[in-house]
């Protein structure tokens, strides 16, 4: 009770501070938001939330004298994602306000309309285009999965001057061209691999790795020795066998003869060397790539990694073990050791899957132990393993149910609560509470999560995702987030909570923030399908741009995020004063 009272007092102080800031007015140079503008933004927020394309209202607000209303009208059109909005946006896209113009381009990208490619290509390539709009045009082309969109990006990357001024646009164009299916000329990408700008080089490495083209391998091999770990880990990730691996008669992966002129053995040798790289990310990605090789030396490195005290490495190695059926005499004892009670829960759970395939008796024993664990993640993994172990698995599951260790049936996923039905007054309240203070320059709200690995501090984006921020505060204030486990932790990628009980499906509020390292979002299978648990990005996720909400970012504790493991819980959560 005392903690609840202290939280409520702290929360009131946060809201009061925000309200005071809202009353101070807009910073110098920005026109203030009066009652009429607040009403306009509330109308736009309602249209976004309900996904209504009200052409008359949107056209009127897109022509507003107030730049923030025009910007938010463009943003709303992109979020509503009705292709009829393209005509409104392109007609107004030469807005004299740089932020408004860039948001217009962003919104066109969210519509994903191939008919916009020519217009976007012109925006991207014109020397008169402001940098912000050119960046958004490059990003938008990556969202439109049409051949002509890739061609436009390739033209730009082939001809743009390699200068400091062009680097921000070229970097986004590299990420966008990397989103396309394999195929196409790599020369426009390779041109940027020698850029002096590390931000450009890692993006070029990412685009080459995504191409899955054998012609990229010599360039990735060179980039795997780049001075920057940001470049090296993406390059190492792409050092896969030049052709898909097959399974030999003994059940072990066997390398396919590489294309003419490409020797696969230096690649596995480079990867083995990269497992000793000073950068943890490089070591992790090297192990992941090594599982595609069947030589004895690479197999030995993976087996040794099972003993690593670093779960990024041991878990990555364990994930590869099911491929080695022909070497089960070595793999099974190593997995059994990795699954010992003294080992990290993440490694034990990961070892269960290959044991099901390679050693069913050992898998039964491990599943039985995990079923008795207090972790929901561990018990869920055990139940799933029993289901894959045939009659012996069903018999052990029945025994555990009879004993009361597990429930009689797998707990059904909680029914999703109905999304709130908001009135016009509700939308206005949200605008006044979050959007106006953010526009006026108030400090962004911050939250603190306590975990077994340490403290994570998050900054929220109330102006960009007011509905998401409103919901985030609700689950923090109610205490519902406390005790939630991280049910998906992918080394060097993401840490994701299990669903918060009885939570609603959230409306995505995609913005120009982007999915950068440390991004806070929520689990989703596509736009407007997700609900919390929340996710923390360990790496940038350019392949997901336009499909997830940037709700906030980690401002302190990224090292803690990188130490999170399966089954770890949010012990406590609070808003920071």
pLDDT one-digit tens code per residue, 230-272 = 999 999 999 998 654 443 434 444 444 444 445 568 999 999 9
Least confident of 16-20, 178-182, 275-279: 16-20
Least confident of 31-35, 157-161, 345-349, 521-525: 521-525
Of 256, 214, 259, 265, which Cα lies nearest the Cα of 238? 214
Q: For the residues 116-127, what does the mean pLDDT come to? A: 97
pTM score over 0.75: yes
The pLDDT value recorded for residue 301 is: 97
Q: Could you report the per-residue pLDDT of 419-454, keeping only the tens digit for each?
A: 678 999 999 999 999 999 999 999 999 999 999 999
The better pLDDT of the pair 449, 525 is held by: 449
**Segments of 146-216 assigned E as strands:** none
Higher-scoring residue by pLDDT: 501, 322: 322
* pLDDT value for 259: 47
Given 3.40.50.720, 1.20.1440.230, 2.40.100.10, 3.30.450.270, which CATH number is that of 424-575?
2.40.100.10
More confident residue, 11 or 45: 45
Mean pLDDT over the full length of the chain = 90
| CA–CA distance, 150 with 156 (Å, rounded to integer) | 10
Domain boundaries, the chain: 424-575
Mean pLDDT of 298-325: 96
The arithmetic mean of pLDDT across residues 19-36, rounded, is 72
Which is more confidently placed, 478 or 281? 281
Q: What is the DSSP string of 75-96?
A: HHHHHHT-TTHHHHHHHHTT-S
CA distance 131 to 98: 9
> Which DSSP string do the residues of 336-351 spell out, in sequence order?
HHHTSTTS-HHHHHHH
Which pLDDT band, with edges at 50, 70 and 90, does 35 fall under? very high
Instruction: Give the per-residue pLDDT at 530.
Output: 76
Picking from 393, 466, 482, 392, the residue whose alpha carbon sits closest to that of residue 432 is 466
DSSP assignment of 211-276: HT-GGGHHHHHHHTT-S-HHHHHHHHHT---SS--EE-TTSSEEPPPPPTT--SHHHHHHHHHHTT
pLDDT (tens digit, 9 = 90+) per residue, 49-68?
999 999 999 999 999 999 99
pLDDT at 86: 95
Residue 10: what pLDDT?
Answer: 44
Please determine, for residue 310, whether its predicted confidence score (pLDDT) is greater than 70: yes
* pLDDT level of residue 25 (50, 70, 90 thresholds): low
Res. 14 pLDDT band, cuts 50 70 90: very low
Cα→Cα distances 538→174, 182, 185, 189, 494, Å: 20, 25, 30, 25, 5
pLDDT on residue 151? 97
Q: What would the two tokens of residue 13 be?
A: 């102080």
Residue 418 has a pLDDT of 64
The pLDDT tens digits of the residues spanning 186-198 come to 999 999 999 999 9
Each residue of 479-507: pLDDT tens digit?
999 999 999 999 999 999 998 876 788 88
Place of tokens 């006044």: 432
Element (H, E) at 124: helix 117-125
In terms of pLDDT, which residue wins out, 278 or 478?
Answer: 278
> How does residue 159 score in pLDDT terms, banded at 50, 70 and 90?
very high
Lowest mean pLDDT among 160-174, 180-194, 413-427: 413-427
Contact of 495 with 538, CB cutoff 8 Å:
yes
More confident residue, 536 or 9: 536
Judged against a pLDDT cut of 80, whether residue 28 lies above it is answered with no
How many whole angstroms from its chain centre is CA 384?
A: 26
What is the structure's pLDDT at 415?
A: 59
In this prediction, residue 532 has a pLDDT band, given cuts at 50, 70 and 90, of confident
Instruction: Tell me whether strands 446-451 and 253-254 are parallel, antiparallel or unpaired.
Output: unpaired
């Amino acid at each position: 009770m005392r903690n609840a009272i202290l939280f409520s007092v702290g929360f009131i102080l946060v809201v009061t501070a925000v309200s005071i800031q809202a009353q101070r007015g807009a910073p110098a140079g920005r026109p203030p938001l009066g009652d009429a503008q607040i009403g306009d933004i509330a109308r736009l927020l309602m249209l976004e939330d309900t996904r209504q394309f009200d052409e008359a209202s949107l056209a009127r607000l897109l022509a507003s004298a107030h730049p923030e209303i025009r910007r938010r009208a463009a943003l709303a059109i992109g979020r509503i994602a009705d292709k009829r909005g393209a005509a409104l946006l392109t007609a107004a896209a030469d807005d004299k306000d740089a932020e408004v113009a860039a948001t217009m381009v962003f919104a066109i990208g969210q519509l994903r309309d191939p008919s916009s490619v020519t217009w976007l290509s012109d925006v991207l390539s014109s020397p008169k285009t402001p940098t912000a709009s050119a960046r958004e045009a490059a990003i938008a082309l990556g969202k439109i999965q049409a051949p002509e969109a890739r061609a436009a990006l390739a033209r730009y990357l082939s001809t743009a001057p390699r200068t400091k001024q062009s680097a921000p646009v070229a970097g986004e164009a590299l990420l966008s061209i990397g989103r396309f299916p394999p195929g196409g000329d790599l020369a426009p990408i390779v041109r940027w691999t020698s850029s002096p700008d590390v931000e450009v080089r890692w993006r070029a490495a990412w685009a080459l790795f995504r191409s899955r083209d054998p012609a990229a391998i010599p360039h990735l091999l060179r980039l795997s020795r780049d001075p920057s770990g940001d470049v090296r880990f993406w390059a190492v990730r792409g050092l896969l066998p030049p052709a898909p691996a097959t399974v030999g008669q003994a059940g072990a992966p066997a390398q396919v003869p590489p294309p003419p002129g490409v020797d696969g053995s230096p690649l596995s040798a480079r990867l083995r060397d990269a497992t000793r790289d000073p950068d943890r990310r490089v070591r992790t990605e090297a192990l992941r790539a090594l599982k595609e090789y069947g030589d004895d030396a690479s197999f030995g490195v993976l087996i040794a990694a099972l003993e690593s005290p670093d779960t990024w490495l041991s878990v990555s190695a364990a994930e590869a073990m099911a491929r080695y059926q022909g070497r089960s005499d070595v793999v099974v004892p190593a997995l059994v050791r990795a699954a010992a009670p003294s080992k990290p829960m993440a490694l034990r759970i990961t070892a269960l899957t290959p044991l099901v395939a390679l050693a069913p008796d050992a898998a039964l024993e491990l599943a039985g132990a995990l079923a008795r664990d207090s972790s929901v993640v561990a018990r869920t993994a055990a139940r799933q393993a029993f289901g894959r172990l045939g009659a012996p698995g069903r018999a052990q599951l029945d025994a555990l149910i009879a004993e009361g260790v597990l429930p009689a049936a797998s707990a059904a996923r909680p029914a999703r609560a109905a999304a709130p039905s908001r009135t016009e007054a509700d939308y206005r309240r949200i605008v006044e509470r979050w959007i106006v203070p953010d526009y006026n320059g108030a400090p962004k709200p911050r939250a603190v999560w306590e975990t077994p690995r340490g403290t994570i501090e998050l900054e929220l984006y109330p102006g960009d995702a007011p509905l998401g921020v409103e919901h985030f505060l609700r689950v923090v204030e109610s205490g519902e987030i406390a005790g939630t486990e991280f049910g998906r932790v992918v080394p060097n990628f993401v840490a994701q909570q299990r669903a918060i009980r009885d939570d609603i499906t959230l409306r995505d509020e995609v913005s120009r923030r982007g999915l950068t390292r440390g991004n806070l979002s929520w689990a989703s299978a596509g736009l407007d399908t997700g609900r919390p648990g929340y996710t923390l990005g360990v790496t940038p996720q350019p392949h997901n741009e336009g499909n997830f909400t940037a709700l906030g970012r980690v401002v302190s504790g990224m090292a803690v995020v990188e130490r999170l493991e399966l089954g770890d819980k949010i012990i406590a959560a609070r808003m920071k004063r």
